[in-house]
């Protein structure tokens, strides 16, 4: 490619830093999701990424920061309790509203309601 050895080393170092940064960001996001963060961007803004390191053992320094945020009065609201609440329309289970009666067997009043 026509690159000197120094230029190649510089490119490799830049790529390694970029990959390391991406691994840290993904690891932080994963940790926040495990701790039921309600708003990832808001919590990430409070995290000091300079205190987080990534090595062959994984991330270090993130769990302590998350626990501090969860236990602080000012930031505890940013984390949920983990229980997911499902809301929505109630089921029409047991009601036979899907199939109408045969029109030939309907009375005149039933036919008027049907139409």
As to burial, measured by CB atoms within 10 angstroms (0-12 exposed, 13-18 middle, 19+ buried), residue 32 is buried
pLDDT digits (tens, 9 = 90+) for 8-39: 888 888 888 888 889 999 999 999 999 999 99
CB contact set of 104 (below 8 Å; sequence gap of 6+): none
What is the per-residue pLDDT across 75-113, written as a single tens digit (0 to 9) for each?
A: 999 998 866 666 776 665 555 555 667 878 888 888 888
Claim: this prediction has a pTM higher than 0.85: no
Read off the DSSP letter of residue 55. E
Classify the C-alpha dihedral 14-15-19-20 as positive or negative. negative
Beta-bridge partner residues of 17: none
């Amino acid at each position: 490619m026509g690159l000197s050895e120094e230029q190649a080393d510089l490119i490799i170092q830049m790529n390694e830093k970029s990959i390391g940064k991406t691994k840290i960001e993904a690891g932080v996001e994963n940790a926040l999701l495990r701790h039921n963060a309600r708003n990832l961007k808001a919590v990430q803004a409070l995290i000091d990424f300079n205190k987080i390191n990534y090595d062959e053992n994984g991330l270090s320094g993130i769990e302590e920061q998350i626990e501090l945020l969860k236990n602080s009065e000012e930031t505890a609201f940013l984390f949920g309790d983990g229980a997911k609440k499902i809301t929505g329309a109630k089921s029409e289970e047991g009601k036979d509203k899907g199939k109408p009666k045969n029109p030939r067997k309907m009375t005149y009043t039933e036919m008027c309601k049907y139409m």
